[in-house]
């Protein structure tokens, strides 16, 4: 039954002659799991299939390289010129279609950013990077201007590749003309300095995009949906703004069925394209809304969207006709299904932590902090019932304990979840006070709901001892007893003006207008940013020479920008004493310096609760330790370990 709460979001839309079951489309997200010869592999298929199964109306397969001769982004881009590749694409398209979604594929050319994701840096150095104009990339590599003959060949090839994609079974084509890749490079006055008919005026800069779209249209016929992905604005000085974004959309609309309005450019990082946790939800919707006012064709929006109510409003208010999600459908591929079924309070929200983006260049795999299945879908998309139902006790109801309890219960086990405090959630509870980390707090809330749905018996205020376990007579014990904040014996640490970062949410009102955050790891940096955003004067103290060394490579640059914006940071400062006026530190020259602040927030890391583990580790036939009690780390590790521990019972 359709969920009446979201009548617009859940209503079908027809583009060309294809009808899509709702307005929620799955965005392209990296051909990370393709084979070494650039074909979709079994993991690719599993990844896209799960998105379709989760209820998205269209599932976009990402980045098929159109013209390998001038675009050497191999290793992470699909390439239809590999023998046998068409069949692999057919299997992917079939896998998407069999769950009622429309299979779509993104045609792309990286232009002067060819090789961006290549693992083989030597090969990358030998690549030609072709762009609209001669120049030099920010990494120093030379860029050569494409000749008119090369442009003509690229245009022709777009059509040829589109025809092959149609033959493979894709039912929509997305032409990528945004995010700083080749077609966008032509659109950008910052990068396009040509003096021929492909440069200069906007009419000239948009010419190649029109030619490409005409070539694709010619290849696929009149009724086949074509979508163009644009950056509505480049969002940097010297780039084009929304006024040109509108004109570009108007110039291409005759060829397409859907105008997909994204934002930003690779040139200055993907921060506008893939909005960080510090940005509001739907931060780029205004671009789509502006463009929609000036075009007749349907418009799609994207960027930090996850809340169904907001998405419903976007469509109801005529700001866009389709909402795309990227990361949210990694976090919970079943988001659309849950919206349709009125179970939106069971949606696991994306944390915008960038783990997924950071994993790609580091390990060349997919990973999501909150979804242990991502990139591993072929290893099993279902939580399969256990052959025999067992009695399972989970000790500790933080994120790891909750996830283990939910998964074990989904397998048909009888699960008792014991928590020594009066609430579940563990460290996640403390995130409710940090505005940009609210989704982390919500993760605990949703997992608690899921645990109740699955019949987990939650026992609060319960300290588990060996005798307690023995009395219950459990078959399996999962130890998720977490970690404790490190509180060093610095003079003054017990004073009333000191708050442990995990308890900040309980003591918000006690925080004065000037604060020293002691400890510049990820938690300390985030707390400093939050307090700075609240208008407080914040000093951040770190004994090492690096702030947030525990932050992933994608998140770190933006975190550092925010730290600089909202606090004054002191590295290689060692706290000696806490007074009513701040923290007396030793700098690296050994000088004593007072870092001023009336309140001190202590964020010096966590220590595993090993004693609790040691007391219980032999109390059941099956015992597994998961999460912070093994090693304090992050949500990604806690969720992954917990899920798999429960599968092993």
Choosing among ligand SF4, ligand FMN, none, which partner's interface includes residue 353 (Cβ < 5 to 8 Å by kind)? ligand SF4
Question: How many Cβ atoms from other residues are within 10 Å of residue 344's Cβ?
Answer: 16
How would you write 8-56 as a 3-class SS string? CCCCCEEECCEEECCCEEECCCCCCCCCCCCCCCHHHHHHHHHHHHCCC
Q: Of residues 25, 186, 278, 354, which one binds ligand SF4 by CB under 6 A? A: 354
Site stretch for ligand FMN (CB under 6 A), options 142-150, 356-364, 486-494, 603-611? 356-364
If you compute the radius of gyration of the chain from its CA atoms, what whole number of angstroms results? 26
Q: Does 370 bind ligand FMN (CB under 6 A)?
A: no
* Residue 356 interacting with ligand FMN (CB under 6 A): yes
User: What does the block give as tokens for 548?
Assistant: 């947030």
**Is residue 28 a contact point for ligand FMN (CB under 6 A)?**
yes
Q: Is 213 in the site for ligand SF4 (CB under 6 A)?
A: no
Contact 524, 542 (CB under 8 A): yes
- Using alpha carbons, select from 436, 389, 455 the residue that is nearest to residue 649: 389
Least distance between ligand FMN and beta carbon 49 (Å): 18
Residue 357 binds to ligand FMN (criterion: CB under 6 A): yes
Residue 368 near ligand SF4 by CB under 6 A: yes
Q: With respect to ligand FMN, which residue has the nearer C-beta, 357 or 397?
A: 357
- Asked if 29 interacts with ligand FMN (CB under 6 A), we say yes
Q: Is residue 430 part of the contact set for ligand FMN (CB under 6 A)? A: no
Pair 219, 162: CB distance under 8 Å: yes
Nearer to ligand SF4, 391 or 644 (CB): 644
Should residue 369 be labelled a site residue for ligand SF4 when binding is judged by CB under 6 A? yes
Q: Is the dihedral angle over the CA atoms 556, 559, 563, 565 positive or is it negative?
A: positive
Q: In the complex, what is the shortest distance from the CB of residue 375 to ligand SF4, in angstroms, rounded to a whole number? A: 11
Stretch that binds ligand SF4, among 79-87, 363-371, 390-398, 508-516 (CB under 6 A): 363-371
Q: Within 13 Å and on the Cβ side, how many CA atoms surround 494?
A: 2
Q: Which of 180, 232, 245, 303 binds ligand FMN (CB under 6 A)?
A: 303
> What is the x/- site pattern for ligand SF4, positions 316-335, by CB under 6 A?
-----------x--xx----
Q: Of the candidates 340, 279, 269, which has an alpha carbon nearest to the alpha carbon of residue 305?
A: 279
What are the DSSP calls for 564-604, one per residue? HHH-EEEES-EEEEEETTEEEEE-TTS-EEEEE-SEEEE--
Residue number of the CB closest to ligand FMN reads: 326
Q: Determine the Cα–Cα distance for residues 343 and 316; give it in Å rounded to an integer.
A: 20
Contacts 24+ apart (CB under 8 A), 9-13: 9/308, 9/311, 9/312, 9/315, 9/323, 9/339, 10/339, 10/340, 12/57, 13/57, 13/298, 13/321, 13/322
Which residue, 162 or 350, is less far from ligand SF4 as judged by CB? 350
The first and second tokens of residue 32, run together, are: 């990370």
Question: Do 478 and 642 form a contact (C-beta atoms < 8 A)?
Answer: yes
Nearer to ligand FMN, 30 or 131 (CB): 30
Residue 371 near ligand FMN by CB under 6 A: no
- Return the residue of 352, 390, 536, 624 that touches ligand SF4, per CB under 6 A: 352
Residue 640: CA atoms inside 13 Å, Cβ hemisphere, count?
14
**143 touches which of ligand FMN, ligand SF4, none (CB within 5 to 8 A by kind)?**
none
Out of 24, 216, 304, 373, point to the residue binding ligand FMN (CB under 6 A).
Answer: 304
Q: Show the site string, 158-197: x = touches ligand FMN by CB under 6 A, - = not.
A: ------------------x--x------------------
Could you tell me which of 599, 609, 377 has the C-alpha nearest to residue 510? Answer: 599
Q: Do the Cβ atoms of 12 and 339 come closer than 8 Å?
A: no
The interface region with ligand FMN, picked from 299-307, 381-389, 431-439, 624-632 by CB under 6 A, is: 299-307
d(CA 413, CA 407) in angstroms, rounded, equals 9
**Minimal CA–CA distance to 276: which of 358, 171, 374?**
358
CA distances to 169, 478, 521 from 619, in Å:
55, 10, 36
CB of 406 to ligand SF4, least distance (A): 17
User: Applying CB under 6 A, which part among 62-70, 224-232, 368-376, 420-428 lies near ligand SF4?
Assistant: 368-376
Q: Which is nearer to ligand FMN, 256 or 356 (CB)?
A: 356
Per-residue x/- mask for ligand FMN, residues 256 to 295, rule CB under 6 A?
------x----------xxx--------------------
Name the segment binding ligand SF4 (CB under 6 A); options: 9-17, 195-203, 345-353, 385-393.
Answer: 345-353
Q: Please tell me the distance from the alpha carbon of residue 112 to that of residue 142, in angstroms, as a whole number.
A: 9
Binds ligand FMN (CB under 6 A): choice among 305, 397, 458, 623:
305
Q: Does 205 bind ligand FMN (CB under 6 A)?
A: no
The yes or no reply on residue 638 touching ligand SF4 (CB under 6 A) is no
Span near ligand FMN by CB under 6 A; candidates 26-34, 64-72, 407-415, 525-533: 26-34
Interacting stretch for ligand FMN, rule CB under 6 A, among 146-154, 296-304, 399-407, 544-552? 296-304
State the binding string over 105-134 for ligand FMN (x if CB under 6 A, else -). Answer: -x----------------------------
Q: Which parts of 105-206 fold into alpha helices (H)?
A: 121-126, 148-168, 182-187, 202-205
Q: Where are the beta strands (DSSP E) in 178-257?
A: 226-231
Residue of 347, 348, 181 whose CA lies nearest to 270: 181
What span, in angstroms and rounded, lies between the C-alpha atoms of 648 and 555?
A: 33
* Residue 492 per-residue DSSP state: T
The binding site for ligand SF4 (CB under 6 A) comprises 327, 330-331, 350-356, 368-370
């Amino acid at each position: 039954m359709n969920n009446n709460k979201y009548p617009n979001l859940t209503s079908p839309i027809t583009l060309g002659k294809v009808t899509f079951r709702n307005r929620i489309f799955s965005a392209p997200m990296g051909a990370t799991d393709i084979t070494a010869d650039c074909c979709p592999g079994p993991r690719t298929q599993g990844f896209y299939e799960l998105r379709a199964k989760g209820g998205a109306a269209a599932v976009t397969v990402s980045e098929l390289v159109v013209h390998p001769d001038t675009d050497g982004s191999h290793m992470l881009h699909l390439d239809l010129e590999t023998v046998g590749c068409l069949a692999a694409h057919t299997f992917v398209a079939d896998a998407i279609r069999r769950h009622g979604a429309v299979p779509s594929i993104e045609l792309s050319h990286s232009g002067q950013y060819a090789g961006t994701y290549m693992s083989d840096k030597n090969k990358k150095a030998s690549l030609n990077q072709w762009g609209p104009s001669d120049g030099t990339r920010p990494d120093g590599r030379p860029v050569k201007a494409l000749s008119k003959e090369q442009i003509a060949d690229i245009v022709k090839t777009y059509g040829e590749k589109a025809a092959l994609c149609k033959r493979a079974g894709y039912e929509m084509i997305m032409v990528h003309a945004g995010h700083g890749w080749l077609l966008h490079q032509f659109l950008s006055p910052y990068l396009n300095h040509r003096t021929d008919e492909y440069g200069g005026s906007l009419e000239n800069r948009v010419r190649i995009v029109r030619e490409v779209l005409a070539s694709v249209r010619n290849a696929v016929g009149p009724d086949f949906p074509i979508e163009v992905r644009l950056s509505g604005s480049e969002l940097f000085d010297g780039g084009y703004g929304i006024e040109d974004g509108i004109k570009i959309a108007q110039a291409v609309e005759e060829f397409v069925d859907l105008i997909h309005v994204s934002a930003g450019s690779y040139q200055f990082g993907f921060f506008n394209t893939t909005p960080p946790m510090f940005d509001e939800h739907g931060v780029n919707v205004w671009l789509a809304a502006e463009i929609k006012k000036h075009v007749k064709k349907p418009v799609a929006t994207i960027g930090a969207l996850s809340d169904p109510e907001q998405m419903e409003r976007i469509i109801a208010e005529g700001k866009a006709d389709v909402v795309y999600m990227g990361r949210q459908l990694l976090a919970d591929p079943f988001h659309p299904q849950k919206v349709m079924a009125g179970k939106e309070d069971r949606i696991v929200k994306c944390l915008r932590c960038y783990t997924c983006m950071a994993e790609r260049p580091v390990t060349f795999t997919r990973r999501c902090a909150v979804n242990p299945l991502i990139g591993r879908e072929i290893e099993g998309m279902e939580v399969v019932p256990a052959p025999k139902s067992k009695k399972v006790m989970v000790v500790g109801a933080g994120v790891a304990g909750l996830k283990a309890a939910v998964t074990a219960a989904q397998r048909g086990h009888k699960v008792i979840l014991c928590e020594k405090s009066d609430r579940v959630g563990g460290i996640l509870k403390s995130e409710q006070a940090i505005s940009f980390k609210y989704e982390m707090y919500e993760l605990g809330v949703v997992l608690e709901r899921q645990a109740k749905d699955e019949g987990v018996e939650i026992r609060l205020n319960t300290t588990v001892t060996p005798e307690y376990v023995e009395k219950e007579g459990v078959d399996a014990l999962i130890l998720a007893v977490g970690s404790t904040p490190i509180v060093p014996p610095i003079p003054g640490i017990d004073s009333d003006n000191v708050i442990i970062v995990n308890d900040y949410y309980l003591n918000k009102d006690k925080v004065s207008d000037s604060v020293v955050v002691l400890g510049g790891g990820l938690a300390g940096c985030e707390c400093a940013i939050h307090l700075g955003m609240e208008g407080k004067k914040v000093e951040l103290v770190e004994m090492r020479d690096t702030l947030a060394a525990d932050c992933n490579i994608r998140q770190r640059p933006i975190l550092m920008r925010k730290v600089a914006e909202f606090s004054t940071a002191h590295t290689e400062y060692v706290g000696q004493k806490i007074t009513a006026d701040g923290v007396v530190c030793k700098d690296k020259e050994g000088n004593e310096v007072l870092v001023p602040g009336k309140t001190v927030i202590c964020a010096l890391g966590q220590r595993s609760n090993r004693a609790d583990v040691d007391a219980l580790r032999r109390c059941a036939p099956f015992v597994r330790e998961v999460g912070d009690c093994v090693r304090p780390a992050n949500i990604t590790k806690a969720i992954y370990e917990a899920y798999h521990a429960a599968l092993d019972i």
